[in-house]
Amino acid sequence: MNYAIVPNWFAGYNAILELMFFVIALLVGVYSIRIYRLSGQRQSKLLGISFLFISAAYFIQSILNFAASYSMADWCSMQSMAVTHSLSNFGIYAHMILFITGIVTLAYMTLKINDLKAYALFLAAILAVLLLSSNKLYFFYALSSILLIYISFYYLGNYLDSRKMSTLIVFTAFLFLLFGKIHFIFSIDHGTFYVAGHLLEFVAYVLILTNLISVIRRK
């Protein structure tokens, strides 16, 4: 599998950003699960589960990129490079599966249906398309973008109905996350798009963190 082109000057910074995304997504997931335990709201439970999957995906991606940076610094060790290559293949697959599972869970939450069989079929179909495709990274970014388009429209509808600042922030966050994934489609051949994708994701998760802080303060 070909991975994205990472500019030399950006190596290491990408891992730090992904570690930040992991922490923010983890906070959202844990807080949502806490709300579910207090209120019994199913939507909060699904939101929490989706963000826990997403946080795990970013954690693996961060470790993967830290390992890649270490491998470049220790390029003279062939054994180190071989181990890193094997771990990279595993890490890329794990990141894609976890992130897609998180986004599918989030999309399932927005449908407001209570049918685990439908969820399992939906997830299995998406993962089958991803894992059986000839170019998995392109399909990963394309599938993520399609799901994020739907989720963005869902939160846009929420904002138009409520006109609340919190829903506008959430919509804007997912819109930036969508733009980031679209940029990653081109990052396989161009390092500039890889950097742009991370910066767009950074804006998205800053907005998500801002919304989380405002919700906690209101509580």
Q: Please spell the DSSP secondary structure of 153-165, one letter per residue.
A: HHHHHHHHHH--H
pTM of the predicted model as reported, rounded to 2 decimal places: 0.89
Instruction: Give the pLDDT confidence score for residue 70 in this predicted structure.
Output: 62
HSE at residue 180, side-chain half, CA atoms within 13 A, is 19
- Give the closest residue to 53 by CA, choosing from 102, 111, 4, 119: 102
Enumerate the H helices of 40-77 as residue ranges.
42-73
How far out from the chain centre does Cα 122 lie? 18
Q: CATH fold of 8-218, please?
A: Rhopdopsin 7-helix transmembrane proteins (1.20.1070)
Instruction: Give the pLDDT confidence score for residue 1 in this predicted structure.
Output: 39
Return per-residue pLDDT of the chain as tens, 219 residues.
345 567 777 777 888 999 999 999 999 999 999 999 988 889 999 999 999 999 999 999 898 877 766 655 554 455 555 666 666 778 889 999 999 999 999 999 999 888 999 999 999 999 999 989 888 888 899 999 999 999 999 999 999 999 999 899 999 999 999 998 887 777 666 777 888 888 999 999 999 999 998 888 876
